[in-house]
Amino acid sequence: MESQFKYELTAEQLGFLFRIRHDSGKPFDVHVTMKPYGNREMIQLLKERAGHMQQAKDDYDAWDVKEGNTLIGREFFDKHAIKVKLNGVTLSDPQFEKLDARWNVREVTIEQGYNGIYRATTEPEDEFRVVDVEEILGDAAIRTKFMMTDAEEKEHVILINHLFDYPNAMDSLSWDRAQIQQGLRQGGWRVQYNHESLNSLYGKKIQSLEGVTLDGQPCAKENKDEWVDAVPYLMKRAALNFLFSRAERATRGN
């Protein structure tokens, strides 16, 4: 059954829940409510933090996202963090500072709240579905999983389908040119992104979204101009990574 909980692009605040573990092994829930931010704000922050994205060890089904080793732009996080609760209790400023000093709450909130997008487990036939017989060569659906909390601090999983126009050779070239890959001595690689180019590429290829609404209305192809700029940039970038990785595998016949 389809979840009734959607990602609302015009929401005035968003809630995220993540868990920390005490030395005793006991887990604690940290609930943070934040004001959404604009794509230009996030792109600027990523530039300041020398952003990179490192692919996780399992190669494809998840991504280990890090936007720099040091926290730059503290004012940015303070501007958007409204309230922090630990196991349902609102923390005072001194309490929050102690919590943040140990677990980097501000940074984790961004990484899990806006970067915490993983490819949902689906059957292969669900990954690329035909929308219409006449468009059999033209569309690809990428499903991602996004975790949020509501006002009662209940955790929800939102499955977001990004319905793309299937990328062509020029799109793949644009994707490649928008990033510089650097090998890491400890294994894997790091990618430096041209964020403006990726933001434009997503806008060019996306057709509709499922699991996301704009003022309660579906994000369809017909009203694309109204919602595409409101989609969080980090969500766009994660979906593009999945799209072009999948397209590359399809080209190789895998």
Q: Record the pTM.
A: 0.79
Each of the 254 residues of the chain gets a pLDDT tens digit; together they read: 455 788 899 988 888 888 888 778 888 888 888 888 888 888 888 777 654 445 444 444 333 444 444 445 677 777 777 688 888 888 888 998 898 888 888 877 776 666 667 777 655 445 544 444 444 445 788 888 888 888 788 888 888 999 999 899 999 999 999 988 777 666 666 678 899 999 999 999 999 999 999 999 999 999 999 999 999 998 898 899 889 988 777 666 55
- In sign, the C-alpha dihedral spanning 82, 86, 90, 94 is negative
| Cα dihedral value 94, 114, 196, 187, nearest 10 | 100
**Structure tokens that stand for 139 in this block:** 């569309």
Phi, psi of 243 (to 5 degrees): -60, -50
Print burial letters for 116-139: b (CB count within 10 Å at least 16), e (below 16): bbebbeeeeeebeeeeeeeeeeeb
Q: CA triplet 61, 66, 70: central angle to 5 degrees?
A: 170
Residue 135: predicted pLDDT: 42
- Alpha-carbon torsion angle 139, 214, 121, 169, nearest 10: 30
